[in-house]
Amino acid sequence: MLDLIIIGAGSAGISAYKEARKYTHNLRIINDGAWDTTCARVGCMPSKILVSTANRLHDAHHADRVGLNLQIEADTSRVMTHLRALRDRFTRSVIRDVDSWNPEHKISGKAKFINANTIEVNGEQLQAKAFILAVGSTPRFDQGDQKALGDRLISTDDIFELPDLPKRLAVIGSGAIAIELSQAMHNLGVEVTTFARSRHVGILSSDNLQNIAQAHISQQLSILFETLPSSMSRDGDEVVIDYQDQQGQAQTIRVDYVLSAIGRNSLLSTLDLYKVDASFTDVKKLPIHDDTKQLGDYPMFVVGDAFSKNPIQHIASYTGKHVVSNALNYPQVEALPKLSPLAIVFSNPQMAIAGQSKKELEQRNIVFITGFQSFENQGRARTLGKNYGGIEVYIEKSSQRLLGAELFMDSAEHLAHMLSWMIAEQVTLEDILDRPYYHPTLEEGLRSALKHARRQLRELG
Ligand SMILES: Cc1cc2nc3c(=O)[nH]c(=O)nc-3n(C[C@H](O)[C@H](O)[C@H](O)COP(=O)(O)OP(=O)(O)OC[C@H]3O[C@@H](n4cnc5c(N)ncnc54)[C@H](O)[C@@H]3O)c2cc1C
């Protein structure tokens, strides 16, 4: 009997394996498909390469905002080959690491459960005292569309493999991935039409920042809010999309590809978990304890995107590592250490949430003050020609502690990290205001938001 079987070798499974082998060599890690992780192959890395190229071109096109007159003749023919060349460096580095592991620990194949301590892979049965399920997720498709459009309906698993940038692309969805890729493709000269079921874009939960983001993004991008295609059909190499516009008029567009970015399905469904427990038929309703990651009372622990409210790479890695002690010490199971929340969308400008979102605070009935600062007239943002968006900070009324912040601004990724780290240190409003603010910087916008909160607190007495 093995001490541990880890199923899935993505960001979560790799972290779990590296941690577990410090304590035991009586273990296996099983992975279906490539061993180079979703993040490196078809996720975080290729999408960020595309976004970086697109942002560079976008800045050049908007050089007039900083007093330059540029005649741009962009040759985008190398964009996709550059993307893959760089992406392949990242995947090679993951593979190099995996290649250095003990070959006896690794099994390539699709695992499924036979019973609570037995799995089957490649026709062989293996038993373990505990299991870490780190199987990730896969893009969600509408089955009907898939049938009708064939290879012209693509997901993030396919888009980075396109030989060249398409001329016309429709994107279905307005979540983080849909917005990142819609904007990047648009900024690279692709004719993009984005269909959004609601008005909600990305991750921001604040209505104020959502309104600002929706207005800003829809100025640049052809985003059709509260509109989905009424029909999609294939005509040769084109896709014909019919929809009804906001005025109720029938419209038709033709595109080369449709990117389905409507979410992802957990691959826990591949594991036949109902053979462990007859009640585990619906993988969305599994009794997974949020704090320990344990599945019911079983010696099974679920980490990463397979079951997560926050399908984010650093959380997959962190929980993968920290869940190992629960798996190896079962039945002694403890709550995992918690990271201060941090989520970023690499849109243009970026969106971020540090600490608790406004919606979470409201749902928890926490009494807090919102400090807001627009970046439309912020000094540094103006010098950069990137004076748009805003920031909100959430200060608890009783303790005056910073609980969270939402950002829609240039380079939000950096400020959001700093805010998340400060929130972890439980700093108060006065603590943060009593720090240096170099002039002129975007951080001065944060200070203005904090002062806005302080004025409101003083008025309340
Ligand atoms: C386009 C895109 C952009 C993204 N951008 C970002 C970003 O900028 N920042 C960020 O933090 N996150 C980003 N993410 C999310 C990030 O990629 C994921 O959070 C992370 O990769 C999840 O890792 P994981 O280990 O849970 O899953 P994975 O890396 O998917 O690993 C799961 C592994 O399990 C295997 N598996 C599945 N079923 C079985 C089975 N039955 N038996 C054996 N093996 C199995 C799979 O084949 C896979 O190899 C992005 C995702 C996408 C798609």
Same domain membership, residue 240 and residue 151: yes
Say yes or no to pLDDT of 461 above 90: no
Shortest-distance atom of ligand 1 to CA 137: 30
- Is 453 inside any structural domain? yes
Q: Cα angle vertex 227, ends 224, 230, to 5°?
A: 125
What's the mean pLDDT when you consider all of the chain?
A: 98
- Is 278 inside any structural domain? yes
Above pLDDT 70, what percent of the chain? Answer: 100
Same domain membership, residue 99 and residue 241: no
Say yes or no to pLDDT of 407 above 90: yes
Same domain membership, residue 135 and residue 156: no
Same domain membership, residue 134 and residue 27: yes
User: Among 44, 140, 300, which is best to mutate for testing ligand 1, by the most ligand atoms less than 8 A from CB?
Assistant: 44
166 CA to middle of ligand 1, Å? 25
pLDDT digits (tens, 9 = 90+) for 46-81: 999 999 999 999 999 999 999 999 999 999 999 999
Same domain membership, residue 205 and residue 108: no
Same domain membership, residue 279 and residue 201: no
Same domain membership, residue 270 and residue 252: no
Same domain membership, residue 253 and residue 320: no
- Is 223 inside any structural domain? yes
Q: Quick one: pLDDT at residue 445?
A: 98
- Tokens standing for 234? 């294939």
Shortest-distance atom of ligand 1 to CA 8: 34
pLDDT band, very low/low/confident/very high, at 134 (cuts 50, 70, 90): very high
User: Among 156, 273, 305, which is best to mutate for testing ligand 1, by the most ligand atoms less than 8 A from CB?
Assistant: 305
Rounded to an integer, the average pLDDT of 379-400 is 98
Q: Which of 408, 392, 371, 9 is nearest to 176 (CA)?
A: 408
pTM, to two decimals: 0.97
Q: Quick one: pLDDT at residue 329?
A: 98
250 CA to middle of ligand 1, Å? 39
**389 CB within 6 A, ligand 1:** no
369 CA to middle of ligand 1, Å? 37
pLDDT band, very low/low/confident/very high, at 125 (cuts 50, 70, 90): very high
Provide the CATH number for the domain around residue 417. 3.30.390.30
Domain limits for position 217 = 143-260
User: Among 267, 270, 272, which is best to mutate for testing ligand 1, by the most ligand atoms less than 8 A from CB?
Assistant: 267
Say yes or no to pLDDT of 251 above 90: yes
Q: In what side-by-side order are the strands of the sheet with 238-244? A: 231-235, 238-244, 250-255
Residues for the chain: how many in total? 461
Strands, DSSP E only, in 55-123? 106-108, 112-115, 118-121
44 CA to middle of ligand 1, Å? 9
Provide the CATH number for the domain around residue 100. 3.50.50.60
**134 CB within 6 A, ligand 1:** yes
Rounded to an integer, the average pLDDT of 138-158 is 96
Above pLDDT 90, what percent of the chain? Answer: 100
Q: Quick one: pLDDT at residue 106?
A: 98
CB 21 within 8 A of CB 105: yes
305 CA to middle of ligand 1, Å? 6
pLDDT band, very low/low/confident/very high, at 454 (cuts 50, 70, 90): very high
Same domain membership, residue 118 and residue 27: yes
- Is 355 inside any structural domain? yes
**184 CB within 6 A, ligand 1:** no
Determine the Cα–Cα distance for residues 59 and 65; give it in Å rounded to an integer: 9
Determine the Cα–Cα distance for residues 435 and 424; give it in Å rounded to an integer: 17
Same domain membership, residue 151 and residue 134: no
- Is 347 inside any structural domain? yes
317 CA to middle of ligand 1, Å? 10
- Is 334 inside any structural domain? no
pLDDT digits (tens, 9 = 90+) for 167-208: 999 999 999 999 999 999 999 999 999 999 999 999 999 999
Determine the Cα–Cα distance for residues 273 and 39; give it in Å rounded to an integer: 25
Same domain membership, residue 434 and residue 363: yes
Say yes or no to pLDDT of 396 above 90: yes
- Is 236 inside any structural domain? yes
**9 CB within 6 A, ligand 1:** yes
Among the candidates 245, 260, 275, a domain finishes at 260
Say yes or no to pLDDT of 275 above 90: yes
- Is 395 inside any structural domain? yes
Q: Quick one: pLDDT at residue 343?
A: 98
Asked if the bond preceding 331 is cis, omega within 30° of 0, the reply is: yes
372 CA to middle of ligand 1, Å? 35
Residue owning the nearest CA to atom 29 of ligand 1: 10
**44 CB within 6 A, ligand 1:** yes
Q: Return the amino acid letter for 237.
A: D
Same domain membership, residue 122 and residue 26: yes
Tally of structural domains, the chain? 3
Q: State the helix-helix crossing angle for 176-187 and 44-61, rounded to 10 degrees.
A: 40
Q: Quick one: pLDDT at residue 161?
A: 98
151 CA to middle of ligand 1, Å? 22
How do beta strands 250-255 and 2-7 pair? Answer: unpaired
Q: What one-character DSSP code corresponds to residue 415?
A: H
User: Among 38, 158, 161, 265, which is best to mutate for testing ligand 1, by the most ligand atoms less than 8 A from CB?
Assistant: 38
Rounded to an integer, the average pLDDT of 321-335 is 98
**46 CB within 6 A, ligand 1:** no
Residue owning the nearest CA to atom 47 of ligand 1: 32
**316 CB within 6 A, ligand 1:** yes
Q: Give the CA distances from residue 318 to residues 47, 48, 314, 369, in Å, rounded to whole numbers and listed in that order.
A: 22, 21, 6, 31
Rounded to an integer, the average pLDDT of 310-336 is 98
Q: Name beta bridge partners: 241.
A: 232, 253
Q: What one-character DSSP code corresponds to residue 336?
A: P
pLDDT digits (tens, 9 = 90+) for 21-33: 999 999 999 999 9
Determine the Cα–Cα distance for residues 145 and 363; give it in Å rounded to an integer: 37
**156 CB within 6 A, ligand 1:** yes
